[in-house]
Amino acid sequence: MKSKFLLKKLLLNILLKFGILDVLHYKNRHKVCILMLHGVMAPNEKSCWEPLRQQLCPEELKRTLTILSQHYQFISIEQCVDILDGKSPPINNAILITFDDGYRNNIDYALPICESFSIKPVLFVATNHVNSGLPFWFDRLDYALQQNMGEVLSLSYQDSMYHFDARTREDLTISYKKFRDDCKQRFNDDIKLNNLFNGLSEILEARSGLKLSDISDKDDWSAIVSWAILKEAVSKGRIDIASHTEDHLRLDCLNEDDISSQLKQSKICIENELAVKCHYFCYPNGNYNGLAIKLVKEASYRAAFSTDVGLCESKDDLMMLKRFNFPANKTTSELLYLLNTK
Ligand SMILES: [Zn+2]
């Protein structure tokens, strides 16, 4: 396994050395690369817990952006959509940085780094979470599980049993990921799925007497950004804000009225709170279908971003824009290869 990995690294370095990756990169120069990030944080002296899901640390963001800045030109979301819409000529090797979900750490830790590269990123926010300040259900259950470590937890909720191996952090990381993946497969109604996450969290919170919402305001991992912080950053032209629904629900797991309401109300909320136009949308969990696309258009969004992987070009459907997961921990050759071969 290790020798296969080293061989791949060596091959990529040869491709880089002989300029083959540069040729590939040049060939794609009129396409647009869009990167997706979530929370950006590293454990610090203030943190009293750490999420099980891998987080991007600020140092790694800076290192990767340094490499990208040598090969790409950073653009805003408006420039991106104008290019893809044929309204503006292409910019060579354009790249857009997007943050999903609306974590406060995007402003506190990631934005100063972005600004040092003159990047104006877009934040896709779930407006009801910004309104309430309540953490996401996946962070809530993560925290609640970690307050009950040391045993295999068997929880009864609505006539079903759920088991989490919380003997060690490693066990729980695997167990919680499997639970989340299974839930995404099993549920086609996201309101029921949210209820399950919140129901299990309540049981665990009652056991430990500890809940994330009590600390999330001072918790840099899970805190949701406020309208006041967003308003200040928007007014200074540091970021753009766009919709990620009201409640971070997968659109293909909702009925037509609920999809429409999530799309329209989140747009109205952003426009009222920030006094800006909200033209862009990002599908929670990357899920969409024909009905969702139709309703995104009807709600007057100009473009919608998915988690389908690849470069975008001007003939693409603006309602299904592709993105790459932020390519952390990569060498220059790995990065250029990854972002030019999809
Ligand atoms: Zn999301």
Distance in Å, CA 270 to ligand 1 centroid:
16
For the stretch 272-298, pLDDT in tens is 999 999 999 999 999 999 999 999 999
Distance in Å, CA 139 to ligand 1 centroid:
12
- Indicate the pTM of the whole model: 0.93
Angle at the Cα of 277 (from 130 to 258), degrees rounded to 5? 55
Distance in Å, CA 5 to ligand 1 centroid:
31
Distance in Å, CA 8 to ligand 1 centroid:
32
**Considering only the top CATH level, what class is 2-133+224-340?**
alpha beta
C-alpha span between 106 and 108 (Å, rounded): 6
For the stretch 142-180, pLDDT in tens is 999 999 999 999 999 999 999 999 999 999 999 999 999
Rounded to the nearest 5 percent, the helix, strand and coil shares of the chain are 50, 15, 35
Closest Cα to residue 335, out of 143, 72, 96, 111? 72
Strand partners, 152: 165
3-class SS of residue 220: coil
For the stretch 228-255, pLDDT in tens is 999 999 999 999 999 999 999 999 999 9
Amino acid code (one letter) for 201: S
Give the dihedral sign, CA 138/144/150/152: negative
Strand 122-125, strand 240-243: pairing? parallel
Distance in Å, CA 152 to ligand 1 centroid:
29
Every domain of the chain and the residues it spans: 2-133+224-340, 137-218
DSSP letters for 48-86: S---SS--B-HHHHHHHHHHHHTT-EE--HHHHHHHHTT
**Joined tokens for residue 256:** 């037509």
3-class SS of residue 326: coil
Distance in Å, CA 104 to ligand 1 centroid:
14
- Of all residues in the chain, what percent carry a pLDDT higher than 70? 99
Mean pLDDT of the chain: 94
Question: For position 249, what pLDDT does the model report?
Answer: 93
**Joined tokens for residue 110:** 């990631």
3-class SS of residue 290: helix
